[in-house]
Chains A and B, each alone.
Chain A
Amino acid sequence: MTTAPAPTLPPVTAARRPARSRSLRPWYRNGPLVAGIVIVGGLILVAIFAPLITPYSPTTQNLTDVLQGPSGAHWLGTDQFGRDVFTRLVWSTRVDLRIGFIAVLIPFVVGSILGGLAGYFGGWLDLIVMRLVDIFFAFPFYVMVIALVFVLGAGETSIYLAIATVSWVSYAKIVRGEVLVAKQQDYVMAARLGGFSHLRVLARHIGPNVLSQAIIYAMSDIVQDIMAIVTLGYLGLGIAPPTAEWGSMISQGQQFITTQWEQATIPGLAVVVTSLGLSWLGDGLSDLLSPDRRK
């Protein structure tokens, strides 16, 4: 990194602060990171301890208590099958978070490897990978996901496969771009001159240096994946009922929107809080991992 010449502060654009002060700041002074850790950590705890948080079952129907308003016994009321809405909200955290976190793994690995190889070796490999990227990129996320879930049948495995098919593209693009820059660096040359094989240089020397951008992107990608899962659930193509899941809860609540508006509203708020936490976590991480590159 070059030593920054003492800058005379530009009057209007205070946008570029000296990067160093950010990176030297201890992590707990990084507001977004702390907020993200608190929210996401809290949600993970909720998911793990779901059975301890509420006394009710998320799936057992209780047809004597249908569609009740909020009360001391049922904090958020009950749905049309007499199930406690708060309980279902809590249990949904398990399903949606788990699938969101797992779904991001396959595209992350596949996309990063393909992008890395394409960027490093270039030539026909790069040409093929980039044309594939163009082709897959032409399908809007939901069109591809919906079509694939139909073809593969509804269910968790299909969701993973469908999301992987769509989102490896972004990782490939990001990692390829990073590798193209990194392979010009002196340390890569040094490693090559040291006699290391291409694959070793790529995996051990370039890899750790370029993956931070992919990791930062993964945070916003989890948000997108959770949106996709919730949307599929809403459309009735996701996790099959009676399993509690935010999307299907919203779709169910929509039928009673005139009488019990909270049933469709609150699961949506849960999604908003989740994605807020993940976005902050991503922002905080990007501060931490690449302080010199903040937009």
Chain B
Amino acid sequence: MLHRLRFIPGRILQAIPVAFGVTILVFLMSHLLPGNPAVAILGSHATPASVAALSKHLGLDKPLWEQYWLFLTHLLQGDLGQSLTYQQPVVGLVFSAVPVTLSLVAYALVLSLIISVPLAGWAATKPSGVRDLAVRAYTLLGQGMPQFWVGIMLILLVAVRLRLFPVSGYGQTPLDHLYYLFLPALTLAISMCPTIIRSLRASTIQVLGSEYIGTARSKGIAGASLFRVHVLRNAAIPTVSIVGVNLGYLVGGSLVIEHVFAIPGLGSLMINAIFARDFPTIQGVALFVALFVVIVGIVTDVVYTLLDPRVDLANTEAVR
């Protein structure tokens, strides 16, 4: 089992230059701001003294690479700068918002799977049948709807008309969170599902046509256990990497959806920071999210390897 994961150190090594690249890109953003970065960051009402202090902190009188080095050392010390609106370190703000966003993303992922797996299986059992056409119509429409608009429509139908779920907010207790985050998570799931369904449907059709399913059927296995044990496990493998790749998309979408439902996560932090012209906070969120996506890439590869039964088989005896 363990030796199949030997690739992990190499994979992490490969991610290191990418992570550095991410920090360089985020660092360069401050130099795209018009004028002196310190003035741009602090705003036009800043006192000369505070501008001078920030300039010194950022090393603006030094060459670019030294400024980057300074940025990186600050970063490694957990210093992403000071938020201008909240007057506290950006790192603290980001870390208090991360659990909210991550639970929203995880919730959305769970809902996506709950919706996608049956729909994909349902569609794949009879390609081009009525059910398949219905599912494909949904995948087509689902990708054409702006996420935030889906959110507003859910608010309109489920929260305003039916009064089943709250219009916005996050609640106090964990149970509250589950209740408050349901509509936002469903919104994200509705736009995430088409991608998952497409992949899962295609691979399920392929698996259903394979010889080992014929064998399983001839042994009298049918219905749910055939689907669960023989079909889904195999059909899910390509979908795992699709989900991994799209997790970044999900995080990006959740930023907008948080704004729609007024949920205090990274998205609200970032979007409020935009209107307050609070650059360090934007920089911090962008950096955090990008590094998160890099890590998710590694995790996806690990899960993929663990799930692939063919690697498992090679391990014991049969195929090689």
Q: Which residues of A contact B (CB under 8 A)?
A: 10, 12-15, 131-132, 134-144, 146-148, 150-153, 223, 227, 230-231, 234-237, 247, 250, 254, 257-258, 261, 264-265, 268, 271-272, 274-276, 279, 295
Contacts and interface: CB of A to CB of B under 8 A. Distances in A.
A116 B253 CA distance: 31
Interface of B: 17-18, 21-22, 24-25, 29, 32-34, 127-128, 140-141, 143-149, 152-153, 155-156, 160, 202, 205-206, 208-209, 248-249, 251-253, 255-256, 259, 270-271, 274-275, 279, 282-283, 285-286, 289-291, 293-294, 297
Contacts of A150: 274, 279, 282
What 7 pairs across the A-B complex have the smallest Cβ distances? A140-B252, A275-B144, A135-B21, A13-B209, A268-B149, A142-B252, A138-B290
A141 B249 contact: yes
A131 B18 contact: yes
Given A140-B251, A151-B32, A247-B146, 13 more contacts: A135-B21, A135-B25, A139-B289, A140-B249, A142-B252, A143-B252, A150-B282, A231-B147, A235-B271, A250-B148, A265-B156, A272-B145, A279-B140
B293 A231 contact: no
B19 to A, nearest CB: 8
The interface centre, meaning the residue of B17, B34, B146, B283 with most chain A CB atoms within 10 A of its CB, is B146
A155 B140 CA distance: 30
Nearest to A224: B143
B146 A271 contact: yes
Nearest to A258: B160
15 contacts: A12-B208, A139-B289, A140-B248, A140-B289, A143-B290, A146-B255, A151-B29, A223-B143, A231-B148, A234-B256, A237-B274, A250-B148, A268-B153, A276-B141, A276-B144
A140 B127 contact: no
Given A151-B33, A276-B144, A142 B256 contact: yes
Contact of A276 (B24, B140, B202): B140
B114 to A, nearest CB: 23
Given A13-B205, A138-B22, A152-B32, A268 B152 contact: yes
Given A12-B208, A13-B206, A138-B290, A147 B282 contact: yes
Contacts, number: 148
Contacts of A223: 143-144
A223 B64 CA distance: 38
A227 B208 contact: no
Nearest to A273: B144
Contacts of A15: 127, 205-206, 209
B156 A261 contact: yes
A138 B156 contact: no
Contacts of B143: 223, 275, 279
A56 B68 CA distance: 54
Q: Give the interface centre of B21, B148, B206, B255 by most chain A CB atoms within 10 Å.
A: B148
Contacts of A14: 127-128
Contact of A138 (B33, B152, B274, B294): B294
Nearest to B14: A134
A295 B248 CA distance: 24
Nearest to A250: B149
Nearest to B34: A153
A257 B158 CA distance: 13
Nearest to A139: B290
B270 A271 contact: no
Given A13-B205, A140-B251, A272 B293 contact: no
B160 A257 contact: yes
Q: Most A CB atoms within 10 A — which of B152, B156, B248, B282?
A: B152
Contact of A234 (B18, B145, B148, B252): B148
Nearest to B249: A140
Contacts of B285: 143
Contacts of B155: 257
A247 B293 CA distance: 27
Contact of B17 (A131, A136, A264): A131
B127 A13 contact: yes
B23 to A, nearest CB: 10
Contacts of A153: 34
Nearest to A280: B140
Contacts of B148: 231, 234, 250
A142 B286 contact: no
Contact of A13 (B208, B283, B289, B291): B208
B22 A135 contact: yes
A275 B283 CA distance: 32
Nearest to B285: A143
Contact of B145 (A131, A152, A268): A268
A265 B21 contact: no
A173 to B, nearest CB: 11
Given A15-B127, A271-B145, A144 B286 contact: yes
Nearest to A13: B209
A231 B155 CA distance: 17
Contacts of B256: 142, 231, 234-235
B260 to A, nearest CB: 8
A265 B160 CA distance: 14
Nearest to A276: B144
A271 B149 contact: yes
B172 to A, nearest CB: 26
A13 B210 CA distance: 9
